[in-house]
A and B are shown apart, each in its own frame.
Chain A
């Protein structure tokens, strides 16, 4: 069954803690993306990676970090430097071909206590 999985579905964090959100895909896609969605708003790009061992900052990268050591995995770490981390986080992947349609995972809802 091909697709994108994100875990956990819900995550609670105390202030000052770093947390890592998982994103895995078995679609053999080259490109992967992390977005943040706040209530009633569209998505904003945090980081993206078009190839293994390479990634670029999106529009709101401050307070976040990523790695891309394997093609199928693109974990996102929300650091204590992120001032307002409570949000819905969505991971996506795309083929990187000329078509370049993005497919999304089910999301992780992060709440800071």
Chain B
């Protein structure tokens, strides 16, 4: 059974610092990996999706890498801003391409 872990559970950084969020998964036979953002009491917003054949994806200040063999993905957020404060969730889709397994999330606070 796939297990997804995100460490640390919470992170606090000063504005302008780069953020590095980690995600690890136990079964490397994945279809894709998705990073989401969640604001308190809200739904999830998709940030980046990396297909199993890809090594990374970029969107603006966000960059996500994928290393399937080691079961790891990293989300980098450059030059953090207070508006980046949220919970970031990593989710892995199994090889059958039909179900996402989520990590517990990393709660990020960017201090002005």
Residues on A facing B (Cβ under 8 Å): 6, 31, 33, 35, 40-45, 48, 50, 58, 88, 90, 92, 98-107, 109
CA distance A112 to B18 in the complex (A): 41
Whether the Cβ atoms of B42 and A43 lie closer than 8 Å is no
B89 contacts partner chain A, Cβ-Cβ < 8 Å: yes
Q: Is B44 an interface residue (CB 8 A)?
A: yes
- B105/A103 in contact, CB under 8 A: no
Residues in chain A near residue B97, CB distance under 8 A:
98, 100
Q: What residues of A have a CB within 8 angstroms of the CB of B98 in the complex? A: 31, 48, 50
B100: which A residues are within 8 A, CB to CB?
33, 43, 45, 102
B contacts, CB < 8 Å to A? 4, 6, 9, 31-32, 34, 36, 41-46, 49, 51, 89, 91, 93, 97-105
Q: Across the two chains, which residue of chain B brings its CB closest to A97?
A: B97
Q: Let me know if A100 and B44 touch, CB within 8 A.
A: no
Contacts of A105 in B (CB 8 A): 43
Expressed in whole angstroms, the Cα–Cα distance for A103 and B91 within the complex equals: 12
Q: Is the CB of B102 within 8 A of A90?
A: no
With A42-B89, A42-B103, A42-B105 in contact, is A102–B43 under 8 Å at CB? no
Does the CB pair A42–B104 fall under 8 Å? yes
Closest B residue to A31 by beta carbon equals B98
Cβ of B25 to closest chain A Cβ, rounded Å = 12
For B91, the chain A residues whose CB sits under 8 A away are 42-43, 102
Chain B residues, Cβ within 8 Å of A106: 42-43
A33's nearest neighbour on chain B, judged by CB, is B100
Residue of A42, A88, A100 touching B31 (CB-CB under 8 A): A100
Chain B residues, CB < 8 A from A101:
32, 34, 46, 49
CB pair B99–A58 under 8 Å, yes or no, is yes
Minimal beta-carbon separation of A51 from chain B (angstroms) = 11
Question: 9 A-B Cβ contacts within 8 A?
Answer: A31-B98, A41-B104, A43-B44, A43-B102, A92-B44, A98-B97, A101-B34, A106-B42, A109-B41
